[in-house]
Each structure stands twice: as structure tokens, then as C-alpha cells.
């Protein structure tokens, strides 16, 4: 398990999937804001769940987010679109409604940065988020991400096109937390 100050990122367990499906996927409005693919109903227990993990897929590193103190499932996080040649990846996360607004997102982004830069040896991490997703923008910027541009009307969300913000962080710009620094 990878650990931050508040959260742990661990492998997805089979019993995480029903809660992630019901709290994140089945909320059509939330799904529409978080995913570029259109929502469609899926049968409970289906292997088509977006939270089902294919351990052979090398371009994605999915995690379940848990509270370090209680072990409670808080959501889902991933490095996705991992490009090992150019050493870049994208960050994504989704917190259950009960976990939002408690500072978990900033910690999840920090742990994903550690994973990307230290464990995977990546050079660049990138986040694309809706322009009105203030929580993600704050979490990214608190971890050193820089706004690199706006993709105008790039996302179809519940009947309208909305802007996306592109943020990036290079390994040499990253300011690791105390857990990431070598002991002196």
C-alpha cells in the first residue's frame, strides 16, 4: 500500500467494486462530469464495471483509496494513459460523496505524484479537469501542478459542452513531502 498523510492507495479488492459502482458510477451526473465515455446502465456484478481491474493492462494503474485510520473505502484513483517511452501519465480520482470536502483529494494527488515520479520514474504528470471543478483544481495546485491551458468546449457534460483545464507537473518541479525525501 502507498501511504499519504490521510489516505492509503491499495490494489482494488473485488468487494470494493459494488460500492464504487453504486456511489460513483450509478450517479449519472457525477459520471458525466468525471468520464469522457457516456454513461450506460450496467448489471450489478458485471465484469463490465469501470472499476473492474485487468491486471494485464500496463497503461493503467488503478487503486482503491482508503482512510489510513479506519481502512474505510473512500474512492478510486489511478494513473492512466501511462506512456513508458515518453515517461508521462495522467492522474484521475473519484471520491465517494461522504469523503468529499475533507482534504482527501489533495493527499490522493500527492500519493499519486510519489507513485508516478518515485516508483514509476515518470517525467511528467498531467491532469485534465472541468473548469468548474474547484476541488480538483485546488488539489492539483496544492501539489505544484501548473495550469497550462484551457481546452475550450472540450467536454460533453449533461447536454452541453464545457471547458476543461489542462494542468501539468514535471518531476524537477515536484516538491516531495517528508516521506519522499531520502534520510540524511
Indicate the domain borders of the chain: 2-180
State residue 182's pLDDT score.
53
Q: Give 50-107 pLDDT, tens digit per residue.
A: 898 888 888 999 999 999 999 999 999 999 999 999 999 999 999 999 999 999 999 9
State residue 183's pLDDT score.
46
State residue 55's pLDDT score.
81
Judged against a pLDDT cut of 80, whether residue 178 lies above it is answered with no
Neighbours of 178 (CB within 10 A): 6
State residue 177's pLDDT score.
76
Judged against a pLDDT cut of 50, whether residue 119 lies above it is answered with yes
Task: Report the pLDDT averaged over residues 125-129.
Answer: 98
Adjacency order of strands within the sheet including 73-83: 2-3, 7-10, 61-67, 73-83, 88-95, 124-130, 160-170, 146-157
Q: What percent of the chain has pLDDT over 90?
A: 76
CATH code for residues 2-180: 3.40.630.30
Q: What percent of the chain has pLDDT over 70?
A: 96
User: Is the separation of the CB atoms in 121 and 171 below 8 Å?
Assistant: no
Whole-number average pLDDT of the chain:
93
Q: Give 1-31 pLDDT, tens digit per residue.
A: 999 999 999 999 999 999 999 999 988 888 8
Q: Is 107 exposed, middle or buried (0-12, 13-18, 19+ CB in 10 A)?
A: buried
Alpha-carbon gap, residue 102 to 145, rounded angstroms: 20
Judged against a pLDDT cut of 90, whether residue 49 lies above it is answered with no
State residue 184's pLDDT score.
45
State residue 148's pLDDT score.
98
Alpha-carbon gap, residue 52 to 48, rounded angstroms: 7
Query: What pTM did the predictor assign?
Result: 0.92
Amino acid at each position: 500500500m502507498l501511504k499519504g498523510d490521510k489516505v492509503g492507495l491499495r490494489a482494488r479488492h473485488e468487494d470494493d467494486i459494488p460500492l464504487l459502482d453504486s456511489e460513483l458510477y450509478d450517479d449519472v451526473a457525477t459520471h458525466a462530469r468525471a468520464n469522457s465515455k457516456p454513461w450506460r446502465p450496467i448489471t450489478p456484478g458485471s465484469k463490465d464495471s469501470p472499476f473492474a481491474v485487468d491486471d494485464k493492462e500496463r497503461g493503467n494503474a488503478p487503486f482503491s483509496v482508503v482512510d489510513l485510520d479506519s481502512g474505510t473505502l473512500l474512492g478510486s484513483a489511478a494513473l492512466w494513459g501511462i506512456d513508458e517511452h515518453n515517461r508521462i501519465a495522467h492522474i484521475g480520482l473519484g471520491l465517494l460523496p461522504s469523503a468529499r470536502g475533507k482534504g482527501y483529494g489533495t493527499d490522493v494527488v500527492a500519493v499519486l505524484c510519489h507513485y508516478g515520479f518515485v516508483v514509476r520514474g515518470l517525467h511528467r504528470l498531467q491532469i485534465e479537469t472541468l473548469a468548474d471543478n474547484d476541488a480538483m483544481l485546488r488539489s492539483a495546485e496544492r501539489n505544484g501542478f501548473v495550469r497550462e491551458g484551457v481546452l475550450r468546449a472540450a467536454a460533453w457534460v449533461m447536454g452541453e459542452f464545457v471547458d476543461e483545464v489542462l494542468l501539468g507537473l514535471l518531476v524537477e518541479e515536484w516538491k516531495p513531502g517528508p516521506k519522499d525525501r531520502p534520510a540524511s
